[in-house]
Structure 1
């Protein structure tokens, strides 16, 4: 009942409030908090975007949408965790920064999320403490005239550290997104404060600031964080945290930097939008922030109103896809295209459904091409086209698409892995090894780490092995459901039952028995029951039910 109440509130708010939109070439702001809020939020984002330009390796490849809710309660229904006061969310066609009016006036929060957005497209995966500390450090940028002040102290952080002290180095370095030090509000406050203090010292303290570029370069090259830190600063993290404790007792340094302000944001005009467009904006956000059950009702209400827009039909298709309703998803994608959809993700997802069903390439390849014609920055479409060219033996063309995908989303291990293998086949050993190391740096789970380590072993060999089928695993970013666990191993036996099959796999972590059902997606193979000649596979599955969500034969 509570979920239904939340849905009803979200729908009614989208319909009742007066929403406005204001946009520049890189950003658009949607809000129901009034024109002044829209203008100020856009101005702040554009200003830090301009100020941050020298620190970005490239311009943002995707447009960004900033959503500012008028009340905290509305925002809380969309946020990914109870500790978030604002959040950054990536999507296939755009990125999102989401906040509520009571914190949007505190522009430090918006600037913090912008830094996450910029880093997601310009750096490999960073240690969590370094990324959060960097976002906090630059969130204090004070932009005035032609000067920037960077590194203003954050009093709340200082008070927290002075009262609670610093976490030990081993605990601090081990914090990840599932840790209580990141997800519990009280503990997270101390972690964020310590991240900020350490990164502040690394950027501005004598003895550290001159070595920061070395640390950043070593991380970009794929060096392990602990090794990169020691080689850059000549000490380990524990010694640096001891320095930080002393640093906190001294007056804080602030950097002054010359800046040429951009003027293009002042040309933007505010426009009022209807309730349907507002509902679709919220619905799309809910899909990509992991709340499809809330999005589903919003799309259903839009459809019930008789709008029948390509956007609402596409939203219904995305929800069907995430529920595993393949036929319904295909029907809705076809309908959205027939209605004139210009969403690249619609063409891409429809192409992937056809590809998974073993349709002829002539049916799905034009859809992939159409997707990147609409939006060349759709990284997953670039990746799949690269995979198609690689299977045809055209590694030069495959590299072209893999590189584009990795440039857009440098934190996708699958993209670097594919690029490493294609370079290896082309005999470009140095580039292959570099990409294999980037794969390891981007790896997020044991399966990806095993995949990366295998690529490093392969590309470190002076002799180029004969060409064989690529071991590229399908990326999780475009799958409707990959489960919460993943393994890489060999399929050695299939037990056939009435409505499912039980697959026996051998891996470096032990033996597994997993269930293949009608919801399993991925490569299609005709397998006979019984003992199999060992087949290399990558499997995504649900740990609780042992149900396979996706299988890729390698």
Structure 2
């Protein structure tokens, strides 16, 4: 399934005591007289019942943050998919959606961010001060900077997100990197050794353990704050450090070469900065951000209000599904041409296993909005799911999915997930001609270096095409930080299969020394990677056959059946 980013929800604050999850029920639908407005501001689409003035203010704030992030990071900031923002006018309006989506009465959660497959969603309580802003800025930084096609260490990703999330507009200027509560934590707690922080990935206990993670985030933030706000010469050294990591040097080697010092000395330097009397932050004048122009929000018709809220509920838990379906069905009754309702109902039918009905709904949606990529993406997702389960996979399904994805990519060529899905059709359909699939997956990773499933699929296709060196390169560059054991295992087993196939060819060609070296390496790798029994046995059997062939030659006999598997 491609729905791999859905419901990865980030919270402003976890409640100290979580109440029991509410029983599944239908949320009360807004009445026809309840006013909701919408405004589009570049990739942001803001829906709100907080009034036109407040909605416009939220849109302006998001655009200023994006402009400040682009100016400060010196990176092209973009999102290939629309970012849907749901701003509720009050806590009482927000709470029913929050609780049913999160499956608990989460009173201390002021907002959350959903990484949905067809575009991020920001959902928050807009009453009073926008108290959810830090978590939303943090996740927006991930969403924007994650599209740079560059793989960076975990500490830098999280540290940069926290650094940029400390954002405020004061006296017409944007301030980035304002001191946060991280300082107090670092001043009173014993630090984790810097070497451990820099080496951490998403599988490390330092990151996954709830008790240790706060220090990881705090030290990562401190490192980025020092490099970005206080020590510009060190920031230049950071680029060298990343280049050396990409070239395969160890953390210790790359760090010493780039920064001209070791971990311990740099940690002392960093602690002195954190314990100092003052900390720097970045200030950007209003004119440096460029003009921020937002149109006046417009009123939404009642069917679109119901459809948008239903679509939001689809991205929640199982408990929110009945409400989602009820909202979408009612929206469809009001307006049978509503594209959001048709697409949402198509998704609902898919989840119920009624695939054909889902496709018909997607096709109807496309009739009314041919430039909307959502129906194409979801229809292609359903086909990919069927290809996954097919034995053998259907060639017709693969071709149909490709047609849908090409149509979506024509409208959104920077849609990384579209390229990933296109490449996956070649993996699942077993195509021998892998060129188009490889090109699609390379395009995906150039847009999103953290799509680990796409990296896995690229490895599979490269092995199938005999491009083992590229497969090894992709594994080292993109999968080192992947914490999805199934993704890593599939990639590793594909690499092992490729190396064993190559060793078989060398054996058949009589290149016994090279064949033995490769077979022995495969045995070690199969053990290190905890490969499946079949691969372990194949590697050991091949190694033994090569050894036997060498012994036969040494004894003056012709090797027997060296090409037998």
The TM-score normalised by the length of structure 1 is 0.69
Contact (CA 8 Å) 2:174, 2:283: kept in 1 or not?
Answer: yes
Q: Structure 2 CA distance, aligned partners of 1:219 and 1:236?
A: 16
Instruction: Give the RMSD, CA atoms, in angstroms.
Output: 4.5
Question: Which of structures 1 and 2 has the larger relative contact order (alpha carbons within 8 angstroms, sep 6+)?
Answer: 2
Select between 130-139 and 84-93 the one with higher mean Cα deviation. Answer: 84-93
Q: Does 1:137 align with 2:154?
A: no
Q: Quick check: 1:372–1:381 contact (8 Å CA) kept in 2?
A: yes
In 1, Cα distance between equivalents of 2:50 and 2:85: 13
* Alignment coverage as a number of residue pairs: 469
8 Å contact kept, 1:347–1:370: no
Q: Residue 289 of structure 2 corresponds to which residue in structure 1?
A: 261
- CA distance in 2 between counterparts of 1:103 and 1:179 reads 35
Using the alignment, how far apart are the partners of 1:168 and 1:177 within structure 2? Answer: 18
CA separation of 1:279 and 1:465: change in aligned 2, threshold 3 A: farther
Distance in 2 (alpha carbons) for counterparts of 1:164 and 1:377 = 44
Alpha-carbon distance change, 386 to 188 in structure 1, aligned in 2, over 3 angstroms: closer
Cross-structure match for 1:116: 142
CA contact (8 A) 1:175 1:182 kept: no
Question: Larger radius of gyration, structure 1 or 2?
Answer: 2
How far the C-alpha of 1:394 sits from its partner, in A, is: 3.6
Q: Say which SS state the counterpart of residue 124 (structure 2) adopts.
A: strand
Q: Counterparts of 1:294 and 1:105 in 2: how far apart (Å)?
A: 25
Larger displacement relative to structure 2 (440-449 or 140-149): 140-149
| Aligned match of 1:30 | 47
Q: Does 1:60 align with 2:84?
A: no
Q: Which runs of 5+ in 2 are unaligned?
A: 1-18, 506-526, 539-565
For residue 88 of structure 1, what is the aligned residue in structure 2?
113
Offset from partner CA, 1:487-511 (integer Å, 9 cap, x none): xxxxxxxxxxxxxxxxxxx996487
Superposition deviation, residue 294 in structure 1: 0.2
Indicate conservation of the 8 Å contact 1:20/1:34, yes or no: yes
Cα separation, 2, equivalents of 1:440 and 1:51: 31
The one of 61, 75, 93 aligned to 1:44: 61
Alignment pair present for 1:283 and 2:326: no
- Cα deviation 1:103-156 (Å, max 9, x = unaligned): 5267544432321211222255654443222112112345679976543322x3
Structure showing the higher strand proportion among its residues:
1
Distance 1:272 1:99, change over 3 A: same
Q: Give the drift of 1:247.
A: 1.5
Structure-2 change in CA distance of 1:103 and 1:368 (3 Å): same
Give 1:270 deviation, angstroms: 0.3
Measured in 1, the distance between the counterparts of 2:125 and 2:482 equals 33
The superposition leaves residues 172-211 of structure 1 with CA deviations (integer Å, 9 ceiling, x where unpaired) of: 6658589797786x97665544432232123344473332
Compared with structure 1, are the counterparts of its residues 427 and 183 closer, same or farther at alpha carbon in structure 2 (3 Å cutoff)?
A: closer
Kindly indicate whether residue 425 of structure 2 is the aligned counterpart of residue 398 of structure 1: no
1:491-510 paired onto structure 2 within 5 Å: 509=530
Query: Distance between the aligned counterparts of 2:482 and 2:46, measured in 1?
Result: 33
Shift of 1:62: 1.9
Match of 2:341 among 312, 319, 323: 312
Match of 2:88 among 46, 53, 69: 69
Q: Which residue of 2 aligns with 1:245?
A: 271
Residues in 2 aligned to 1:286 and 1:177: alpha-carbon distance in whole angstroms: 30
2:328 pairs with one of 295, 302, 309: 302
In the aligned structure 1, how far is the partner of 2:85 from the partner of 2:249?
Answer: 34
TM-score (ref. length: structure 2): 0.67
What does 1:476-491 correspond to in 2, within 5 Å? Answer: none
Does the CA contact (< 8 Å) of 1:317 and 1:330 recur in 2? Answer: no
**Aligned counterpart, 1:273:** 300
